[in-house]
Structure 1
Amino acid sequence: MFEKVIEPRVSETDGAGHINNTTIPIWFESGRDEIFRLFTPDLSFSNWRCVIIKMNVEYVSQIFYGRPVTVQTWISRVGNSSFEVYEEIQQDGKVCAKGNATYVNFNFETQKSEPIPEEIKGVMSEHLYEDKLIETE
C-alpha cells in the first residue's frame, strides 16, 4: 500500500461545511504519485507513461477542514499494459471515500499502449490488495 497524508485547505471546503466532492479525485490522484514514479522516475511530462482511462468514486462520509486525511492506495489488478488501483481516504480512522481507477502504460510518441515492464510489475505486486475492489454497474 502507498500512503499519503493531506492537510485539507479552507479553499477545499464548500458552503455545506465539508470538503467539496470535486476535491476527492484530486486527492486520490495525489496518492498515486509513487506509482507514477515507477513509470516515470523523474516525473517528467516529456516522458510520461500513465494515462487514466476510468475512475469511480464512492462518497461514504463527510470530510472536514482542520483534520488531516490519509490517502491509501493499493494495486488491485495488473494486466499486460494496464493496471487498476483501489483507494481510500480516511479521516479520524474512518473511511470517508473510496474509489478505483484504471491506467494504461502509454507511449505518447507512438500513441499506443505498451506492455508494463516486468520490473514495474514486480514492485506493483508488493502493493496488491485484491479484496478492495469496487463493484461498477
Structure 2
Amino acid sequence: MKKEDFKHSVPVQMRFSDVDGFGHVNNGVYNDYYDIGRMYYMRDVLGWLPGDSQRDNQLVVVNTKTDFIGQILLGQSIEVLTRVVSLGNKSLKMIQWVIEQDAEEPLSVCESVMAGFQRSTGTSFVLPDEWRKAIEIYEG
C-alpha cells in the first residue's frame, strides 16, 4: 500500500502528555491517534460521529493490530491516514497509518475491524446499504 491509496487524512495535535521522558510518543497513545482517524473518517464519510448518544446503530472496534515502525518524537507534525479496505456482512476492515506530514512511509500501521452494534439491544447488525454505498463511493 502507498500513501496515495489513502483518501482520508486528519492532522493530529500531539500533547505533552503523549510523550515519555525521552520525548517519544508512548506506544499506547498510538491507539488514541488511530481512534481520532476512525472518528473523523466516520464523520466525513458516513455523516455522523461515533459515540453520539442519539444514534442507536454504531460502529465499534472489535479487533486491532498495530505495528510500530519508526519513532514519533515530540514536535513532529503527524497525521493519520485511514482507508476501509473491505466490507463484510456485519463488519468492515480498516488500514491506518500514522505518518509524518509530507513523508511517504508510515511510522506505524494499524489494521482494525469494526462491527455494527445496536446500543438498544446490545447486538450486532448487518451494515446498512447506505453506509456501504457511502464507503464504496468515497473509496472508489
* TM-score (norm: length of structure 1): 0.83
The answer for the alignment partner of 1:132 in structure 2 is none
Provide structure 2 residue ranges, at least 5 long, that are not aligned to the other structure: 1-6
Tell me, yes or no, if the aligned pair for 2:99 and 2:108 is still in contact at 8 Å.
yes
For the pair 1:119 / 2:130, whether they are aligned, the reply is yes
Q: What does residue range 39-58 of structure 1 map to in structure 2 within 5 Å? A: 41=48, 43=50, 44-47=52-55, 49-58=58-67
Equivalenced residue count is 129
Alignment equivalent of 1:80, drawn from 75, 89, 98: 89
The answer for the alignment partner of 1:62 in structure 2 is 71
Q: What does residue range 1-137 of structure 1 map to in structure 2 within 5 Å? A: 1-37=7-43, 41=48, 43=50, 44-47=52-55, 49-92=58-101, 93=103, 94-128=105-139
The answer for the alignment partner of 2:3 in structure 1 is none
Provide structure 1 residue ranges, at least 5 long, that are not aligned to the other structure: 130-137
**Which structure has the highest helix share of the two?**
2
SS in 2 for 1:101: strand
Tell me, yes or no, if the aligned pair for 1:68 and 1:91 is still in contact at 8 Å.
yes
Letter paired with 1:41 = W
Letter paired with 1:13 = V
Q: Which runs of 4+ in 1 moved over 4 A?
A: none
* TM-score (norm: length of structure 2): 0.82
Alpha-carbon distance between aligned partners in 2 of 1:20 and 1:42, rounded to the nearest angstrom: 26
Alpha-carbon distance between aligned partners in 2 of 1:85 and 1:42, rounded to the nearest angstrom: 17
Quote the RMSD (CA, aligned, Å).
Answer: 2.0
Identity rate, percent: 19
Tell me, yes or no, if the aligned pair for 2:97 and 2:110 is still in contact at 8 Å.
yes
